[in-house]
């Protein structure tokens, strides 16, 4: 499976074209909307989320509630476009007006300056419109289809907030269903209600100070068959594909599986997961410290992956920058901004991880239509169980 997204943050719409989805997957716009609405929520966001109502139009590839195997086009209108029509329209504008409205003071930490240098744009709006994380709505739309495929195969995915500005949720030994329920109830999308208030306070304080904060998101995927991905070639390792997908989310700077970076401080005997067997489950690991991967392949244990999000770059008390016209020092431009988007990003990460896992399954098993995919995955699970 593959997908492309298009659309500027304050342009007319976001478009996602998804290809390779098996035929006969039941898919309603409500399925996509559920994901889009979850992404819009979350404590710490700015005014933009009050303007938008992210609801999808399915423009191709689905008929009478099921997929046809042809490319699926998903469109989300930007309600804010009506306020930006004269700035974001496709028709030429008067040169004076164009120059007056140019963004020329790049924000440290955003794509403004690098993109302007690379594409020879003196108006950095031409960069920030596309580098904006508004695009993650289009990615979540694609991921919602992946989640539908996974759910038909009995695979569950959940993303939740593990840490905000050093305030860490405990590792709770609860099921994926409970994690889904708890994180959906929490304004900061944490599964540990004892840290909810302090996370919210940290966000409020950052906002009050004209500053921003980041954090850590954890995604758990349960019910994956063993052997997804492959050790035989570097670009077929599924953990590396997931790592790439996580770091491709705006502002995500690092990724770890299982105990991750802590493995630098543990011995082999405290790091690897001992193997056992029973007739009902087949082979399993007694622990899951490595987060569900060995040799770039799934072990069949839950995938546990974390991503770290840096603080948002746009600051209401801006950092020093340089005006690219005068070359004089200036405070960076202030675009309307979130103060913390980790709760929203938890939904984004859940969906990009779901996409990678669903793609790996669809690419590995015969999958022209859903019944065929389900049967081949079931047959493979049984072969592995009795191996």
Ligand X SMILES: Cc1cc2nc3c(=O)[nH]c(=O)nc-3n(C[C@H](O)[C@H](O)[C@H](O)COP(=O)(O)O)c2cc1C
Binding site for ligand EPS (CB under 6 A): 9, 46, 48, 132-134, 136-137, 250, 335-338
In the numeric block, the tokens 């700035």 are attached to 87
Does 312 bind ligand X (CB under 6 A)? Our answer is yes
The span from the CA of 387 to the CA of 286, in Å, is 18
221 binds ligand X (CB under 6 A): no
267 is in an annotated binding site: no
Helix H or strand E encompassing 287? none
Binder of residue 348, out of ligand X, ligand EPS, none (CB less than 5 to 8 A by kind): ligand X
Binding mask 33-72 for ligand X (x = CB under 6 A): -------------x--------------------------
Q: Which is nearer to ligand X, 20 or 108 (CB)?
A: 108
Among ligand EPS, ligand X, none, the one that 249 touches (CB under a kind-dependent 5 to 8 A) is: ligand X
- Contact criterion met (CB below 8 Å) for 157 and 136: no
Choose among ligand EPS, ligand X, none what residue 148 binds, the Cβ cut-off being 5 to 8 Å by kind.
none
* Residue 293: strand pairing partners: 298
Give the residue from 53, 59, 46, 49 showing the smallest Cα distance to 16.
Answer: 59
Binding mask 98-137 for ligand X (x = CB under 6 A): -----------xxx-------------------xxx--x-
Q: Which of residues 239-258 bind ligand X (CB under 6 A)?
A: 249-251
CB 377 within 8 A of CB 273: no
CB–CB of 103/124 below 8 Å? yes
End-to-end CA distance of the chain: 29
How far apart CA 204 and CA 136 sit, in angstroms, is: 24
3 burial type by CB count under 10 A (0-12 exposed, 13-18 middle, 19+ buried)? buried
CA dist 189 and 107 (Å) reads 28
Q: How many residues bind ligand X (CB under 6 A)?
A: 20
Helix (H) or strand (E) holding 159: strand 156-164
Decide which of ligand X, ligand EPS, none touches 134; Cβ closer than 5 to 8 Å per partner kind.
ligand EPS
Q: How far is the CB of 33 from ligand EPS (least distance, A)?
A: 14
Residue 142 near which of ligand EPS, ligand X, none (CB within 5-8 Å, type-dependent): none
Burial, 61: exposed, middle or buried (Cβ in 10 Å; 0-12, 13-18, 19+)? Answer: buried
List residues forming the annotated binding site.
39, 45, 130-132, 250-251, 295, 310-314, 336
Q: Would you tell me which residues interact with ligand X (CB under 6 A)? A: 46, 109-111, 131-133, 136, 249-251, 312-314, 337-338, 341, 344-345, 348
Annotated binding site for NADP(+): 39, 45
Query: Binding site for FMN: residue ranges?
Result: 130-132, 250-251, 295, 310-314, 336
């Amino acid at each position: 499976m593959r997908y492309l997204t298009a659309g500027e943050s304050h342009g007319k719409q976001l478009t996602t074209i998804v290809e390779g989805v098996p035929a006969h997957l039941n898919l309603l716009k409500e399925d996509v909307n559920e994901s889009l609405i979850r992404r819009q929520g979350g404590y710490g966001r700015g005014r933009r989320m009050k303007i938008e109502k992210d609801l999808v139009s399915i423009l191709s590839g689905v008929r009478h509630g099921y997929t046809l195997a042809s490319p699926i086009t998903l469109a989300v209108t930007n309600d804010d476009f009506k306020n930006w029509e004269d700035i974001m329209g496709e028709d030429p504008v008067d040169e004076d007006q164009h120059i007056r409205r140019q963004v020329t003071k790049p924000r440290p930490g955003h794509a403004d300056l690098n993109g302007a240098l690379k594409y020879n744009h003196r108006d950095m709006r031409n960069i920030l419109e596309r580098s904006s994380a508004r695009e993650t709505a289009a990615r979540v739309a694609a991921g919602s289809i992946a989640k539908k495929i996974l759910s038909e195969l009995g695979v569950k995915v959940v993303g939740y907030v593990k840490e905000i500005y050093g305030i860490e949720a405990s590792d709770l030994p609860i099921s994926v269903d409970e994690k889904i329920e708890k994180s959906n109830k929490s304004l900061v999308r944490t599964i540990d209600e004892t840290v909810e208030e302090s996370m919210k306070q940290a966000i409020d304080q950052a906002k009050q100070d004209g500053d921003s904060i980041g954090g850590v998101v954890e995604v758990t995927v349960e019910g994956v068959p063993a052997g997804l991905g492959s050790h035989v070639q570097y670009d077929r390792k599924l953990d590396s594909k997931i790592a790439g997908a996580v770091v491709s989310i705006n502002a995500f700077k690092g990724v770890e599986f299982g105990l991750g970076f802590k493995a630098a401080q543990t011995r082999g005997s405290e790091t690897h997961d001992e193997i056992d067997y029973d007739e009902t489950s087949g082979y399993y690991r007694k622990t899951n410290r490595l987060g569900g991967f060995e040799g770039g392949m799934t072990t069949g244990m839950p995938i546990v992956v974390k991503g770290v999000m840096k603080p948002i770059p746009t600051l209401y008390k801006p950092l020093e920058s340089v005006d690219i016209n005068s070359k004089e020092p200036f405070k960076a431009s202030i675009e309307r901004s979130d103060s913390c988007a980790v709760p929203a990003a938890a939904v984004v990460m859940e969906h990009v991880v779901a996409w990678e896992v669903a793609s790996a399954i669809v690419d590995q098993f015969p999958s022209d239509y859903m019944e065929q995919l389900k049967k081949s995955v079931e047959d493979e699970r049984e072969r592995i169980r009795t191996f």
